[in-house]
Structure 1
Amino acid sequence: MSHSPFSSQACLPLAVAALCASFAPGAQAQSQAQAADVSNPGTVSAQRSDAGTLAAAAASLPDVVISATRTPQPAAQVLADVTVLDDQAVQRSGAVNIADLLARQPGMELVRNGGPGTTSSIYIRGAETRFTAVYVNGVRVDSQSTGGAPWEAISLAQIERIEILRGPAAAVYGSDAVAGVILIYTRQGDGAPKANVAVGLGSQGTRRAEAGISGQAGAVDYALGASRATSSGFNARPDAAYNPDKDGYRNTAANARLGWQVNGAHRLEAAFSHSKMDAQYDGFGTQGIDEHGVNQLTTASLAWAARWSEVYDSRLSVSQSTTRYRTSPDPYATKTTLRDALFQNTLRLGAHRLSLTLEHRGDALVNDPIDTSRHQNALALGWGWQGGAHTLQLNLRHDRDSEFGGATTGQFAWGYQFAPNWRVTAAAGTAFRVPTLYHRFSQYGAPDLQPEKSRNVELGLRWADGGSSVEATLYQNRVRNLIAFGAAGPCADAFGCYENGGRAVYEGLTLAARHRLGSVNLSGSIDLQDPHSRDTGKLLARRAKQLLKLGADTQLGGWTLGGEFQATSHRYDNAANTSRLGGFGVLNLYASTRLAPDWQLLLRVDNLADRQYQLARGYAQAGRTAYAELRWTPGF
């Protein structure tokens, strides 16, 4: 069994060394960031945008994000712990789906049963994958069978922007946002028509191709894209009890976004995306049988944004997502449909920002013999204020569930810029997640399950000067009524039942830094976390206590050369902490260059040392792989 690449004693010095590099001489003081002009159409919010107007503006303004609270706010005023990934970060990743890219970010951990396309979970700050609210182009994505987004079905092709909000946000987003929120945006048209075409070849018979076109014609903007990726894969279950074949995948995706600026005050938008992932897997005792799991995700939305005056604007949107999963030849099928309607209102009065949101959410599950649904109606209020060195944000939301009645959540955040470039923040909030319909009505279900509830507190300290920054976030999130699979009891199955039997604590410290040292861009993060059961004191299954992520890139002779290093301490594959998974470290290298103004070449090697490791007991991960991609982006 492999061993941890760094012990808890060695972990802290590594963090200190990475962070101290950020204070290299040459940093210049900068003035306090000024608030964006909210009357300017290019100014967007640091709070949730459900379609593309805000996403497009944010993509062109690096100091603006779209994730924390739902009213217009420049990034300098954001009090939450947020990471933004642009299209260049997405392209450099060389990843097939979004889970691989997310796992390289601070506070994020990936667990996967084999290679790309197989069942994947993303843990923010060590919390369950179902505790992260996920939106694609503003459309809510979730599975009412497994709980959480189907990460293996979300293709990276044509994605322009990803935002990661770490920390509870149920007072803004409602149920699901117990640990964080991830917003995903595909490309949006702007300016003269332009195309993007890419082809790639890699190890394990990997083949990729994508094409898209985007632009603007008068008051109409558009973006269309499609992609295809295939791979022969590798043997993900090397145990003799399983089929010794290679477990590959086939992924097809398409997306479209359309906007119409009716006049200076009104805009209509539509968005659509579809992805299908067909991945091979090995069931127990299925030697010689080629088993497939097919995941499909479809999202669609319509939105109307209106600016009624210089101080008041509104947004009305309707959306639907459908998640389908089936297996063959072993028959299993499940389908989740989510339908949402949102009416958001924002009022700006001097230093005050007020928001009022009405939301209707409907969830439906078809999983034979289950065919049921439920809905929630919600009212959310928000107030933000900035005065001098102080920033305040207060959110309050009431959800009324058709099955569980009312639930009220709140969130308070405060920021204080106590010196040039320095700011301290404090936040507290409550959150909840209602049980999935499968948790309640499957053969393992318990109809009397109650929502999982949490209380979170966190403190943050940030120093930023130009492109350099150092951040530290200390957090504790306590969850009760944690749903887990337990012993046989009230359900119909003798094997076991879902139950509200647990309490958990997700606590830790995240340190992150970035700095430019000469011609080299440095970045790094370290997570010292302790996601454990409050009842037993044991580490939660498949969660590590230490995560280290380092990155560096530079320009040399027309090339961008870079590397990434990820290290994870040991974990346990079970709640009893008796099945140990060894720690590991993985080094990735990449290089890119422009062969011509419209042509770019990307080269990448992942797991350079060919390290063998497991994220889940019995499931191998890919060894050393290489990938080359040629991208053409002509303008017209």
Structure 2
Amino acid sequence: MSSFSQQCAGAASSLAAHAASVAVGLTALAAATVHAANLDDVVVSATRSEQRLADVVADITVVDRDQLDQQAGRSLEDVMAKLPGVQITRNGGPGSDTSLYLRGASKQHTAVYIDGIRVDGQNGSGGAQWESLPVDLIDRIEVLRGAAGAVYGSDALAGVVQIFTKRGEDGVHPFIGVGAGTYGSSKGEAGLSGAHGAVDYALGVSYATSKGFDSKTNGVHNEDRDGYTRKSANARVGLQLSKVHRLDLTALTSKSDAGYDATKSIQDDRAIREFDAYGLTWAAQWTEGYRTRLSVSESTNRYQTTGTSLYEAETRLRTLLLQNEWKLGQGTLSLALERREDALENTGLKNTNRKERDQTGIAVGYGAKYGNHTVQLNARSDDDSDFGRKNTGGIGYGWDFAPQWRATASASTGFRVPSLYQRFSAYGDSTLAPEESLNKEIGLRWAQQGNHLGITLYHNKLKNLVSYQKGLGSCGMPSCYVNVDRALLQGITIAGAYRTGMLKWYGSVDFQNPKNEETGKLLERRSRRFATLGVDAAVQGWTLGAEMQAASRRYNGKDDKVMTLAGYTLFNLSASRQIARDFTLTARVDNLMDKDYTLAQDYATPGRTFWVGLKWMPH
């Protein structure tokens, strides 16, 4: 294998022209993500320990509640699609089957957590069910890009998404929100949070519905409107037992019922998804330099279809995590023990409708800042009940070589064991090998008084990828899951924000080349180039926004000669204003030019849409 510098040089050479055009575009904006919070903010995703964002070596993006409020009327996956390094594909409108690609990797290669609770599915290829997660109940999102197996164990080949719900603060803080928009869409939300004495709490409920539109654009199908409903609720309660001991309880539940059109079906096909997550955490600050965190959690994903075909699947994931942290001079040493248990009940499994597996891991990490230099070291060993021991590691370095400037370099590994469905369904193979990744990246970041610009060059090699292939495998079916693919995910991400007077410019541009190294083809439904560029302005009490989202063409299948999905450019407008002491009005127009575009072959996307919302939140 060539050295890191040689690989980065090769990747830089192949993408140089793209990077140059990106730099010109951002310079024209007079700056360069609004999605990254203040560098003094504290994040946990990089190491599972609290760090100032300014000290993090990894490539990370933060979205806070204020930014989520500006996206009123959008789904969580639509919010994610605006972030650096993220693309989505969806079989129809919101509520339908959704995949999220982080740096060009498949959705199962991104580990997802809600308040520290692991979210995953063992059905199909696996991965989080993004279409089930309610954006209305979310307070903050952290997106970590790059392999993180040495911190999180299995699944984090491409990165990690940490989702946090609201935590109660002093006083009593109720809120009620309503909204309505195109396609008969509407939603309502309400919540109450606060703190009194040793107890803090945050409760919320949300209901969203839409009549939708006909999700299919071609072939024989049920020509109805494929709408959806989603009901969600959450609770987060904290109890400060003493100065050094604290308990936190988290619960979230969501159920959606969405229409979809099966191939050559004229029936009303429905996809019903139920998601539950529960977690209990005990934290103890034994001394000024030593603390412990113990958490137990369980998440459940249920998926059921009705209509043309009857199908049921349920994934249950239980985790136990014990993390210890010691302050040692300029650094922090961490030692974690983690136990994970997965179970799948599925009508398509061989021999029995239930399969289980478990993993037990031990992880050690050390991070320190010595003057202008930052180091981060991590190592982890996981013992899987089916595949034995898997070892991962990571090393990162940051150098503050000038005021407001930082250079970073890192290398890390990750792995994912095949899903239970990939191994034990009628289309599976129990001898499949785990997928593995080796990620290397370098970055340059400038930040000053809320303005910032970051450039990251990454090179991630994946091997033993599990693919659903026609005519291959030993399952005896026309298509089987097999280890056939090797992929190379390389690219450049440039993102930043800059304020000039009453204007705040923001943007991110990605130039990537996620390809199958076996065939040399671009991975399906990924663009080589995509971007979000926008500006917010404060005008006479209004916050006005204009935004452009663009993506180059993609290929719908594994063979790039099958179907080309054309590139697209969308324009969006937004406005918000406090119309009374405790009332805020928001309005959006998405896809202003009514662009006809496609994310998946034969599936429709929304045209021009309008949204108006009103939120009451006493100050």
TM-score range, shorter chain: over 0.9
Letter in 1 for 2:230: N
Letter in 2 for 1:292: R
Residue 611 of structure 2: which of 601, 623, 627 is its match? Answer: 627
Q: CA deviation at 1:21?
A: 4.1
More off after superposition, 515-524 vs 313-322: 515-524
1:606 aligns with 2:590: yes
Change (3 A) 1:607 1:59: closer
| Number of residue-to-residue matches in the alignment | 595
**In structure 1, the residue corresponding to 2:558 is in which secondary structure?**
coil
Q: Assess if the C-alpha contact under 8 Å between 1:272 and 1:301 holds in 2.
A: yes
| Residue aligning to 1:529 | 512
Q: CA deviation at 1:375?
A: 0.2
| Residue aligning to 1:125 | 103
Distance in 1, matches of 2:192 and 2:485, equals 50
| Residue aligning to 1:586 | 570
Partner deviation per Cα, 1:162-219 (whole Å, 9 max, x = no partner)? 1111111110000010001001111111110111100001010011000000001210
Q: Assess if the C-alpha contact under 8 Å between 2:31 and 2:497 holds in 1.
A: no
| Residue aligning to 2:25 | 17
Q: Can you give the 5+ residue segments of structure 1 that lack an aligned partner in the other structure?
A: 1-6, 25-57
**In structure 2, the residue corresponding to 1:157 is in which secondary structure?**
helix
Residue 205 of structure 1: which of 184, 198, 219 is its match? Answer: 184
Q: Assess if the C-alpha contact under 8 Å between 1:124 and 1:179 holds in 2.
A: yes
Q: Assess if the C-alpha contact under 8 Å between 1:265 and 1:306 holds in 2.
A: yes
Distance in 2, matches of 1:153 and 1:176, equals 20
Q: Assess if the C-alpha contact under 8 Å between 2:40 and 2:54 holds in 1.
A: no
| Residue aligning to 1:458 | 441
Residue 248 of structure 1: which of 213, 223, 227 is its match? Answer: 227
Distance in 2, matches of 1:297 and 1:232, equals 22
Distance in 2, matches of 1:305 and 1:365, equals 31
| Residue aligning to 2:56 | 78
Letter in 1 for 2:87: E
Alignment of 1:224-243 (within 5 A): 224-243=203-222
Q: Superposition RMSD on alpha carbons, in Å?
A: 1.7
Distance in 2, matches of 1:389 and 1:232, equals 56
Change (3 A) 1:23 1:567: closer
| Residue aligning to 2:314 | 335
Q: CA deviation at 1:230?
A: 0.6
Q: CA deviation at 1:254?
A: 0.3
Q: CA deviation at 1:284?
A: 1.8
Q: CA deviation at 1:536?
A: 1.3
Q: Assess if the C-alpha contact under 8 Å between 1:19 and 1:513 holds in 2.
A: no
Distance in 2, matches of 1:68 and 1:8, equals 28
1:543 aligns with 2:532: no
Distance in 2, matches of 1:130 and 1:548, equals 23
Q: Assess if the C-alpha contact under 8 Å between 1:22 and 1:469 holds in 2.
A: no
Residue 270 of structure 2: which of 285, 292, 298 is its match? Answer: 292
1:508 aligns with 2:491: yes
Q: Assess if the C-alpha contact under 8 Å between 2:37 and 2:62 holds in 1.
A: no
Q: Assess if the C-alpha contact under 8 Å between 1:22 and 1:513 holds in 2.
A: no
Q: CA deviation at 1:513?
A: 1.7
**In structure 2, the residue corresponding to 1:620 is in which secondary structure?**
coil
Distance in 1, matches of 2:167 and 2:421, equals 36
Partner deviation per Cα, 1:452-476 (whole Å, 9 max, x = no partner)? 0111100000011111111100000
Q: Assess if the C-alpha contact under 8 Å between 1:399 and 1:406 holds in 2.
A: yes
Distance in 1, matches of 2:175 and 2:476, equals 52
| Residue aligning to 1:374 | 357
Distance in 2, matches of 1:337 and 1:11, equals 43
Residue 295 of structure 2: which of 308, 317, 327 is its match? Answer: 317
| Residue aligning to 2:414 | 431
Q: CA deviation at 1:94?
A: 2.4
Q: Assess if the C-alpha contact under 8 Å between 2:473 and 2:479 holds in 1.
A: no
Q: CA deviation at 1:291?
A: 1.0
Residue 246 of structure 2: which of 267, 272, 278 is its match? Answer: 267
User: Share of identical aligned residues, percent?
Assistant: 46
Partner deviation per Cα, 1:553-582 (whole Å, 9 max, x = no partner)? 010011000022110000000111011000
Distance in 1, matches of 2:606 and 2:102, equals 23
Residue 384 of structure 1: which of 367, 378, 383 is its match? Answer: 367
Q: Assess if the C-alpha contact under 8 Å between 1:97 and 1:153 holds in 2.
A: no
Distance in 2, matches of 1:334 and 1:520, equals 49
Q: Can you give the 5+ residue segments of structure 2 that lack an aligned partner in the other structure?
A: 1-14
Distance in 2, matches of 1:616 and 1:264, equals 54
| Residue aligning to 1:45 | none
**In structure 2, the residue corresponding to 1:188 is in which secondary structure?**
coil
Q: CA deviation at 1:394?
A: 0.1
Residue 398 of structure 2: which of 415, 431, 442 is its match? Answer: 415
**In structure 2, the residue corresponding to 1:90 is in which secondary structure?**
helix
Q: Assess if the C-alpha contact under 8 Å between 2:42 and 2:50 holds in 1.
A: no
Distance in 1, matches of 2:294 and 2:19, equals 48
Partner deviation per Cα, 1:231-288 (whole Å, 9 max, x = no partner)? 000111022411111110001000000000011100001000001111000112222x
Change (3 A) 1:257 1:381: same
1:91 aligns with 2:99: no
| Residue aligning to 1:280 | 259
Letter in 2 for 1:73: Q
Task: Give the structure-1-normalised TM-score.
Answer: 0.91
Partner deviation per Cα, 1:401-437 (whole Å, 9 max, x = no partner)? 0000000000000000111111100000111000000
1:167 aligns with 2:150: no
Task: Give the structure-2-normalised TM-score.
Answer: 0.94
Alignment of 1:532-571 (within 5 A): 532-571=515-554
Partner deviation per Cα, 1:18-57 (whole Å, 9 max, x = no partner)? 1464469xxxxxxxxxxxxxxxxxxxxxxxxxxxxxxxxx
Q: CA deviation at 1:548?
A: 1.3
Q: Assess if the C-alpha contact under 8 Å between 2:38 and 2:450 holds in 1.
A: no
**In structure 2, the residue corresponding to 1:615 is in which secondary structure?**
coil
Distance in 2, matches of 1:569 and 1:60, equals 31
Change (3 A) 1:23 1:111: closer
| Residue aligning to 1:3 | none
| Residue aligning to 2:7 | none
1:483 aligns with 2:466: yes
Distance in 1, matches of 2:31 and 2:211, equals 46
Letter in 1 for 2:296: V
Partner deviation per Cα, 1:58-78 (whole Å, 9 max, x = no partner)? 999952222101233211110
Residue 116 of structure 1: which of 62, 73, 94 is its match? Answer: 94
Change (3 A) 1:8 1:334: farther
Distance in 2, matches of 1:250 and 1:21, equals 40
Q: CA deviation at 1:11?
A: 7.7
**In structure 1, the residue corresponding to 2:287 is in which secondary structure?**
coil
Q: Assess if the C-alpha contact under 8 Å between 2:424 and 2:430 holds in 1.
A: yes
**In structure 2, the residue corresponding to 1:118 is in which secondary structure?**
coil
| Residue aligning to 1:50 | none
Find runs of 4+ consecutive structure 1 residues off by over 3 angstroms.
7-12, 19-24, 58-62, 487-493
**In structure 1, the residue corresponding to 2:489 is in which secondary structure?**
strand
Partner deviation per Cα, 1:118-152 (whole Å, 9 max, x = no partner)? 11011110011100000011110001013110000
More off after superposition, 72-81 vs 223-232: 72-81
| Residue aligning to 1:154 | 133
Q: Assess if the C-alpha contact under 8 Å between 2:22 and 2:494 holds in 1.
A: no
Letter in 1 for 2:551: T
| Residue aligning to 2:174 | 195
